[in-house]
Amino acid sequence: MITISLCMIVKNEERILARCLDSVKDLVDEIIIVDTGSADATKRIAAEYTDKIYDFTWIDDFSAARNFAFSKASKEYIYSADADEVLSEENRQRFRQLKETLLPEIEIVQMKYGNQLHNGTVYNFDEEYRPKLFRRLRNFVWEETIHEMVRLAPVVYDSDIVITHMPEQNHAGRDLGNFRKQIAAGRQLSRRLYGMYARELFLAGSVQDLQEAENYFRTEVSSPDRSTDEITEGCCVAAKAARLRGDTVAFFKHTSKVIAGEGCSEICCELGHFYEEKQDYEEAAIWYYNAAYETQPALTLRSAGEEPLQGLIRCYEQLEDPEQAESYRKELKQRQNENEK
Protein backbone atom coordinates (compact mmCIF):
# COMPACT_ATOMS: atom_id res chain seq x y z
CA MET A 1 0.00 0.00 0.00
CA ILE A 2 1.31 3.44 -0.89
CA THR A 3 1.58 6.32 1.56
CA ILE A 4 0.06 9.70 0.78
CA SER A 5 0.65 13.30 1.86
CA LEU A 6 -2.34 15.60 1.50
CA CYS A 7 -1.13 19.08 0.51
CA MET A 8 -3.45 22.09 0.54
CA ILE A 9 -3.09 25.85 0.22
CA VAL A 10 -5.86 27.77 1.99
CA LYS A 11 -7.05 31.25 2.85
CA ASN A 12 -10.19 32.15 4.80
CA GLU A 13 -11.79 28.73 4.38
CA GLU A 14 -13.37 28.37 7.84
CA ARG A 15 -16.79 27.52 6.38
CA ILE A 16 -15.71 24.58 4.22
CA LEU A 17 -12.29 23.32 5.34
CA ALA A 18 -13.64 20.74 7.80
CA ARG A 19 -16.04 19.39 5.16
CA CYS A 20 -13.12 18.73 2.84
CA LEU A 21 -10.80 17.26 5.47
CA ASP A 22 -13.49 15.02 6.97
CA SER A 23 -13.96 13.38 3.56
CA VAL A 24 -10.28 12.50 3.14
CA LYS A 25 -8.53 12.51 6.54
CA ASP A 26 -8.58 8.71 6.99
CA LEU A 27 -7.36 8.10 3.43
CA VAL A 28 -4.04 9.93 3.77
CA ASP A 29 -1.03 9.45 6.01
CA GLU A 30 -0.05 13.09 6.41
CA ILE A 31 -1.91 16.40 6.16
CA ILE A 32 -0.01 19.54 5.22
CA ILE A 33 -1.83 22.89 5.29
CA VAL A 34 -0.21 26.02 3.87
CA ASP A 35 -2.05 29.21 4.83
CA THR A 36 -1.58 32.27 2.62
CA GLY A 37 -2.99 34.87 4.99
CA SER A 38 -6.26 33.82 6.62
CA ALA A 39 -8.04 36.34 8.82
CA ASP A 40 -10.65 33.88 10.10
CA ALA A 41 -10.58 30.55 11.97
CA THR A 42 -9.04 28.54 9.13
CA LYS A 43 -5.78 27.75 10.94
CA ARG A 44 -7.58 26.84 14.16
CA ILE A 45 -9.78 24.38 12.27
CA ALA A 46 -6.78 22.96 10.43
CA ALA A 47 -5.06 22.37 13.77
CA GLU A 48 -7.81 19.89 14.66
CA TYR A 49 -6.55 17.67 11.84
CA THR A 50 -2.78 18.25 11.72
CA ASP A 51 0.13 19.99 13.36
CA LYS A 52 1.82 20.53 9.99
CA ILE A 53 0.52 24.03 9.31
CA TYR A 54 2.75 26.54 7.55
CA ASP A 55 2.45 30.21 6.66
CA PHE A 56 3.28 31.41 3.17
CA THR A 57 3.33 35.08 2.23
CA TRP A 58 1.04 35.51 -0.76
CA ILE A 59 2.85 36.77 -3.88
CA ASP A 60 0.03 36.38 -6.43
CA ASP A 61 1.45 33.03 -7.50
CA PHE A 62 -0.52 29.82 -6.89
CA SER A 63 2.32 27.68 -8.26
CA ALA A 64 4.77 29.10 -5.75
CA ALA A 65 2.37 28.33 -2.90
CA ARG A 66 1.73 24.78 -4.13
CA ASN A 67 5.44 24.15 -4.65
CA PHE A 68 6.05 25.26 -1.05
CA ALA A 69 3.34 22.88 0.17
CA PHE A 70 4.78 20.01 -1.86
CA SER A 71 8.24 20.70 -0.42
CA LYS A 72 6.89 19.85 3.05
CA ALA A 73 5.58 16.42 2.04
CA SER A 74 7.37 13.27 3.18
CA LYS A 75 5.24 10.38 1.89
CA GLU A 76 5.49 8.44 -1.36
CA TYR A 77 2.66 10.28 -3.10
CA ILE A 78 1.15 13.75 -2.81
CA TYR A 79 -2.57 14.35 -3.08
CA SER A 80 -3.29 17.97 -4.02
CA ALA A 81 -6.70 19.23 -2.89
CA ASP A 82 -8.61 22.50 -2.54
CA ALA A 83 -10.89 23.33 0.36
CA ASP A 84 -14.00 23.35 -1.84
CA GLU A 85 -13.55 19.71 -2.85
CA VAL A 86 -15.39 16.75 -1.33
CA LEU A 87 -15.17 13.00 -1.81
CA SER A 88 -18.49 11.17 -1.60
CA GLU A 89 -18.62 7.84 0.23
CA GLU A 90 -18.57 5.95 -3.06
CA ASN A 91 -15.48 7.83 -4.19
CA ARG A 92 -13.84 7.46 -0.79
CA GLN A 93 -14.06 3.70 -1.33
CA ARG A 94 -12.57 4.08 -4.80
CA PHE A 95 -9.75 6.19 -3.35
CA ARG A 96 -9.06 3.57 -0.67
CA GLN A 97 -8.95 0.81 -3.26
CA LEU A 98 -6.60 2.88 -5.41
CA LYS A 99 -4.30 3.38 -2.45
CA GLU A 100 -4.19 -0.35 -1.80
CA THR A 101 -3.58 -1.43 -5.40
CA LEU A 102 -1.70 1.37 -7.19
CA LEU A 103 1.18 -0.01 -9.23
CA PRO A 104 4.58 1.45 -8.32
CA GLU A 105 5.34 2.58 -11.88
CA ILE A 106 2.39 5.02 -11.86
CA GLU A 107 3.68 8.56 -11.37
CA ILE A 108 0.50 10.63 -11.81
CA VAL A 109 -3.10 9.65 -11.14
CA GLN A 110 -5.83 11.70 -12.76
CA MET A 111 -9.24 11.98 -11.14
CA LYS A 112 -12.46 13.35 -12.55
CA TYR A 113 -13.25 16.85 -11.34
CA GLY A 114 -17.03 17.03 -11.17
CA ASN A 115 -19.77 19.62 -10.59
CA GLN A 116 -17.65 22.30 -12.27
CA LEU A 117 -20.57 24.28 -13.66
CA HIS A 118 -21.98 24.85 -10.17
CA ASN A 119 -22.18 28.48 -9.08
CA GLY A 120 -21.06 29.90 -12.41
CA THR A 121 -17.51 28.58 -12.31
CA VAL A 122 -15.56 29.28 -15.48
CA TYR A 123 -15.46 25.89 -17.16
CA ASN A 124 -16.88 24.43 -20.36
CA PHE A 125 -17.43 20.92 -18.97
CA ASP A 126 -19.12 19.75 -15.80
CA GLU A 127 -16.64 16.88 -15.48
CA GLU A 128 -13.07 16.47 -16.72
CA TYR A 129 -9.88 14.68 -15.75
CA ARG A 130 -7.27 16.50 -13.69
CA PRO A 131 -3.94 15.32 -12.28
CA LYS A 132 -4.47 15.01 -8.52
CA LEU A 133 -2.10 12.38 -7.10
CA PHE A 134 1.64 12.72 -7.74
CA ARG A 135 4.61 10.50 -6.98
CA ARG A 136 6.82 12.67 -4.75
CA LEU A 137 10.18 11.33 -5.93
CA ARG A 138 10.40 10.23 -9.54
CA ASN A 139 12.29 7.11 -10.53
CA PHE A 140 14.18 7.46 -13.79
CA VAL A 141 13.87 4.39 -16.02
CA TRP A 142 15.87 3.40 -19.08
CA GLU A 143 13.84 2.21 -22.09
CA GLU A 144 14.42 0.45 -25.43
CA THR A 145 16.61 -2.59 -26.07
CA ILE A 146 18.96 -0.57 -28.26
CA HIS A 147 19.61 3.17 -28.54
CA GLU A 148 18.33 3.24 -25.00
CA MET A 149 17.07 6.45 -23.44
CA VAL A 150 15.61 7.62 -20.14
CA ARG A 151 11.81 7.76 -20.10
CA LEU A 152 10.86 11.42 -19.83
CA ALA A 153 7.07 11.31 -20.04
CA PRO A 154 5.41 10.42 -16.73
CA VAL A 155 3.30 7.28 -16.41
CA VAL A 156 -0.26 8.57 -15.98
CA TYR A 157 -3.28 6.58 -14.81
CA ASP A 158 -6.87 7.78 -15.33
CA SER A 159 -8.82 6.61 -12.28
CA ASP A 160 -12.60 6.38 -11.83
CA ILE A 161 -12.55 8.62 -8.75
CA VAL A 162 -14.83 11.65 -9.02
CA ILE A 163 -14.07 14.67 -6.83
CA THR A 164 -17.11 16.86 -6.19
CA HIS A 165 -16.27 20.53 -6.63
CA MET A 166 -18.49 22.60 -4.32
CA PRO A 167 -17.44 26.27 -4.62
CA GLU A 168 -19.31 28.76 -2.48
CA GLN A 169 -18.74 31.56 -4.95
CA ASN A 170 -17.42 32.33 -8.40
CA HIS A 171 -13.66 32.97 -8.30
CA ALA A 172 -13.56 34.69 -11.69
CA GLY A 173 -13.11 38.16 -10.15
CA ARG A 174 -10.08 37.00 -8.20
CA ASP A 175 -8.60 35.24 -11.22
CA LEU A 176 -9.17 38.15 -13.59
CA GLY A 177 -7.56 40.50 -11.09
CA ASN A 178 -4.54 38.21 -10.93
CA PHE A 179 -4.25 38.20 -14.72
CA ARG A 180 -4.27 42.00 -14.75
CA LYS A 181 -1.49 42.09 -12.14
CA GLN A 182 0.66 39.72 -14.20
CA ILE A 183 0.24 41.89 -17.29
CA ALA A 184 0.85 45.14 -15.37
CA ALA A 185 4.09 43.61 -14.08
CA GLY A 186 5.21 43.05 -17.67
CA ARG A 187 5.01 39.27 -17.56
CA GLN A 188 4.31 37.40 -20.77
CA LEU A 189 1.30 35.11 -20.38
CA SER A 190 1.99 31.56 -21.51
CA ARG A 191 -0.14 29.96 -24.22
CA ARG A 192 -2.22 28.23 -21.55
CA LEU A 193 -2.78 31.30 -19.37
CA TYR A 194 -3.48 33.51 -22.38
CA GLY A 195 -6.29 31.18 -23.44
CA MET A 196 -7.61 30.88 -19.89
CA TYR A 197 -7.69 34.68 -19.51
CA ALA A 198 -9.71 35.02 -22.72
CA ARG A 199 -12.04 32.19 -21.71
CA GLU A 200 -12.70 33.60 -18.23
CA LEU A 201 -13.47 37.00 -19.74
CA PHE A 202 -16.04 35.43 -22.06
CA LEU A 203 -17.63 33.19 -19.46
CA ALA A 204 -17.64 35.45 -16.41
CA GLY A 205 -16.09 38.84 -17.18
CA SER A 206 -18.02 42.04 -16.59
CA VAL A 207 -18.13 44.88 -19.11
CA GLN A 208 -15.41 46.58 -17.09
CA ASP A 209 -13.27 43.43 -17.07
CA LEU A 210 -13.50 43.20 -20.86
CA GLN A 211 -12.69 46.84 -21.41
CA GLU A 212 -9.70 46.66 -19.04
CA ALA A 213 -8.40 43.68 -21.01
CA GLU A 214 -9.07 45.12 -24.46
CA ASN A 215 -5.78 46.97 -24.97
CA TYR A 216 -3.78 43.91 -23.93
CA PHE A 217 -5.50 41.62 -26.43
CA ARG A 218 -5.46 44.25 -29.20
CA THR A 219 -1.69 44.35 -28.82
CA GLU A 220 -1.29 40.58 -28.62
CA VAL A 221 -3.26 39.81 -31.78
CA SER A 222 -0.71 41.89 -33.71
CA SER A 223 2.25 40.06 -32.16
CA PRO A 224 4.23 37.69 -34.43
CA ASP A 225 4.78 35.48 -31.37
CA ARG A 226 1.11 34.50 -31.09
CA SER A 227 -0.30 31.52 -32.99
CA THR A 228 -3.36 31.58 -35.23
CA ASP A 229 -5.47 30.12 -32.42
CA GLU A 230 -4.21 32.75 -29.98
CA ILE A 231 -4.98 35.53 -32.46
CA THR A 232 -8.52 34.17 -32.82
CA GLU A 233 -9.00 34.06 -29.04
CA GLY A 234 -7.64 37.58 -28.63
CA CYS A 235 -9.85 38.92 -31.42
CA CYS A 236 -12.88 37.44 -29.67
CA VAL A 237 -12.13 39.50 -26.56
CA ALA A 238 -11.20 42.66 -28.47
CA ALA A 239 -14.30 42.45 -30.68
CA LYS A 240 -16.67 41.93 -27.76
CA ALA A 241 -15.11 44.80 -25.80
CA ALA A 242 -15.35 47.09 -28.85
CA ARG A 243 -19.00 46.19 -29.41
CA LEU A 244 -19.88 46.88 -25.80
CA ARG A 245 -18.35 50.34 -25.93
CA GLY A 246 -19.80 51.13 -29.36
CA ASP A 247 -16.57 51.25 -31.39
CA THR A 248 -17.77 49.94 -34.76
CA VAL A 249 -14.42 50.37 -36.53
CA ALA A 250 -12.50 48.35 -33.94
CA PHE A 251 -15.32 45.79 -33.80
CA PHE A 252 -15.21 45.04 -37.52
CA LYS A 253 -11.42 45.11 -37.57
CA HIS A 254 -11.27 42.18 -35.16
CA THR A 255 -14.30 40.26 -36.41
CA SER A 256 -12.99 40.49 -40.00
CA LYS A 257 -9.61 39.13 -38.99
CA VAL A 258 -11.27 35.94 -37.74
CA ILE A 259 -13.94 35.61 -40.43
CA ALA A 260 -11.22 35.85 -43.08
CA GLY A 261 -9.93 32.55 -41.73
CA GLU A 262 -12.02 29.64 -40.52
CA GLY A 263 -14.13 31.80 -38.23
CA CYS A 264 -15.42 30.74 -34.83
CA SER A 265 -18.71 30.62 -32.97
CA GLU A 266 -17.81 33.46 -30.62
CA ILE A 267 -17.21 35.93 -33.45
CA CYS A 268 -20.40 34.84 -35.23
CA CYS A 269 -22.32 35.42 -32.00
CA GLU A 270 -20.75 38.85 -31.65
CA LEU A 271 -21.88 39.74 -35.16
CA GLY A 272 -25.32 38.40 -34.31
CA HIS A 273 -25.46 40.63 -31.23
CA PHE A 274 -24.24 43.61 -33.24
CA TYR A 275 -26.97 43.34 -35.89
CA GLU A 276 -29.62 42.47 -33.33
CA GLU A 277 -28.77 45.69 -31.48
CA LYS A 278 -29.21 47.51 -34.81
CA GLN A 279 -32.61 45.78 -35.14
CA ASP A 280 -31.48 44.08 -38.36
CA TYR A 281 -32.92 40.75 -37.29
CA GLU A 282 -32.52 38.98 -40.63
CA GLU A 283 -28.77 39.66 -40.68
CA ALA A 284 -28.48 38.81 -36.99
CA ALA A 285 -30.22 35.47 -37.57
CA ILE A 286 -27.69 34.59 -40.30
CA TRP A 287 -24.79 35.07 -37.92
CA TYR A 288 -26.46 33.25 -35.04
CA TYR A 289 -27.13 30.36 -37.44
CA ASN A 290 -23.46 30.32 -38.41
CA ALA A 291 -22.49 30.24 -34.74
CA ALA A 292 -24.77 27.29 -34.01
CA TYR A 293 -24.23 25.19 -37.13
CA GLU A 294 -21.34 26.33 -39.33
CA THR A 295 -18.43 27.12 -37.00
CA GLN A 296 -16.66 25.74 -33.95
CA PRO A 297 -16.12 27.50 -30.61
CA ALA A 298 -12.67 28.86 -29.80
CA LEU A 299 -13.31 29.60 -26.12
CA THR A 300 -16.74 28.57 -24.86
CA LEU A 301 -19.08 25.75 -25.82
CA ARG A 302 -22.01 28.03 -25.00
CA SER A 303 -21.21 30.16 -28.07
CA ALA A 304 -22.06 27.22 -30.33
CA GLY A 305 -25.19 26.16 -28.48
CA GLU A 306 -27.30 28.05 -25.98
CA GLU A 307 -26.20 31.58 -26.93
CA PRO A 308 -26.90 31.49 -30.70
CA LEU A 309 -30.08 29.43 -30.30
CA GLN A 310 -31.44 32.00 -27.86
CA GLY A 311 -30.47 34.68 -30.39
CA LEU A 312 -32.32 32.84 -33.18
CA ILE A 313 -35.42 32.58 -31.00
CA ARG A 314 -35.36 36.33 -30.29
CA CYS A 315 -34.78 37.22 -33.94
CA TYR A 316 -37.60 35.09 -35.32
CA GLU A 317 -39.95 36.37 -32.66
CA GLN A 318 -39.13 39.89 -33.86
CA LEU A 319 -39.58 38.78 -37.47
CA GLU A 320 -43.03 37.47 -36.50
CA ASP A 321 -42.19 33.90 -37.47
CA PRO A 322 -43.38 31.95 -34.40
CA GLU A 323 -43.00 28.53 -36.05
CA GLN A 324 -39.30 29.08 -36.73
CA ALA A 325 -38.80 30.51 -33.23
CA GLU A 326 -40.53 27.47 -31.73
CA SER A 327 -38.33 25.05 -33.69
CA TYR A 328 -35.20 26.65 -32.23
CA ARG A 329 -36.81 26.72 -28.79
CA LYS A 330 -37.35 22.94 -28.99
CA GLU A 331 -33.77 22.38 -30.11
CA LEU A 332 -32.48 24.55 -27.27
CA LYS A 333 -34.46 22.50 -24.75
CA GLN A 334 -33.20 19.26 -26.29
CA ARG A 335 -29.58 20.37 -26.04
CA GLN A 336 -30.07 21.51 -22.44
CA ASN A 337 -31.54 18.13 -21.54
CA GLU A 338 -28.61 16.34 -23.18
CA ASN A 339 -26.15 18.46 -21.20
CA GLU A 340 -27.87 17.58 -17.94
CA LYS A 341 -27.46 13.83 -18.52
Tell me the C-alpha distance between 241 and 237, whole Å.
6
Q: What is the pLDDT of residue 281?
A: 98
In this structure, of 35-39, 45-49, 201-205, the range with the lowest mean pLDDT score is: 201-205
Tell me the C-alpha distance between 65 and 162, whole Å.
25
Higher pLDDT, 205 or 33: 33
Assign residue 144 a region (left: φ > 0; alpha: ψ between -120 and 50; beta: otherwise).
left
Give which of 264, 319, 261, 252 is closest to 292, Cα–Cα. Answer: 264
Q: What is the pLDDT of residue 147?
A: 67
Q: What is the pLDDT of residue 122?
A: 53
User: Average pLDDT in the 54-67 region?
Assistant: 93
Contacts of 177 by beta carbon, 8 Å cutoff, 6+ apart: none
Q: What is the pLDDT of residue 60?
A: 86
Q: What is the pLDDT of residue 169?
A: 63
User: Average pLDDT in the 2-9 region?
Assistant: 98
Half-sphere exposure of 59 (CA within 13 A, CB side): 10
Tell me the C-alpha distance between 130 and 268, whole Å.
31
Contacts of 48 by beta carbon, 8 Å cutoff, 6+ apart: 18
**Predicted confidence (pLDDT) at residue 159 exceeds the cutoff of 90:** yes
Q: Are 79 and 155 in contact (CB under 8 A)?
A: no
Q: What is the pLDDT of residue 174?
A: 79
Q: What is the pLDDT of residue 152?
A: 85
Q: What is the pLDDT of residue 183?
A: 93
User: Average pLDDT in the 44-50 region?
Assistant: 98
The crossing angle, in degrees rounded to 10, of helices 322-340 and 306-318 is 160
Give which of 49, 46, 159, 37 is closest to 94, Cα–Cα. Answer: 159
Q: What is the pLDDT of residue 118?
A: 55
Q: What is the pLDDT of residue 57?
A: 96
Tell me the C-alpha distance between 267 and 232, whole Å.
9
pLDDT over 90 percentage in the chain:
77
Q: What is the pLDDT of residue 295?
A: 96
Tell me the C-alpha distance between 255 and 272, whole Å.
11
Q: Are 257 and 222 in contact (CB under 8 A)?
A: no
pLDDT over 70 percentage in the chain:
93
Q: Are 109 and 46 in contact (CB under 8 A)?
A: no
User: Average pLDDT in the 249-273 region?
Assistant: 96
User: Average pLDDT in the 80-92 region?
Assistant: 95
Which domains are seen in the chain, by residue range? 4-165 (3.90.550.10), 178-340 (1.25.40.10)
Report phi then psi at 154, rounded to 5.
-70, 155
**Predicted confidence (pLDDT) at residue 168 exceeds the cutoff of 90:** no
Tell me the C-alpha distance between 228 and 179, whole Å.
22
pLDDT tens digit string along 313-337?
A: 999 999 999 999 999 999 999 988 8
pLDDT tens digit string along 223-246?
A: 998 999 999 999 999 999 999 999
In this structure, of 51-55, 165-169, 194-198, 295-299, the range with the lowest mean pLDDT score is: 165-169
User: Average pLDDT in the 52-59 region?
Assistant: 96
**Predicted confidence (pLDDT) at residue 126 exceeds the cutoff of 70:** no
In this structure, of 8-17, 136-145, 302-311, the range with the lowest mean pLDDT score is: 136-145
pLDDT tens digit string along 101-119?
A: 999 899 999 999 886 555 5
Q: What's the chain's average pLDDT?
A: 92
Please report which confidence band the pLDDT of residue 100 belongs to, taking 50, 70 and 90 as the band edges.
very high
In this structure, of 57-66, 85-94, 237-246, 332-341, the range with the lowest mean pLDDT score is: 332-341
**Predicted confidence (pLDDT) at residue 71 exceeds the cutoff of 90:** yes
Q: What is the pLDDT of residue 18?
A: 97
DSSP string across 51-96:
S-EEE----S-HHHHHHHHHHT--SSEEEE--TTEE--HHHHHHHH
Q: Can you list the alpha helix ranges (DSSP code H) found in the chain? A: 17-22, 42-46, 62-71, 89-101, 172-184, 191-204, 207-220, 228-244, 248-259, 265-277, 281-289, 306-318, 322-340
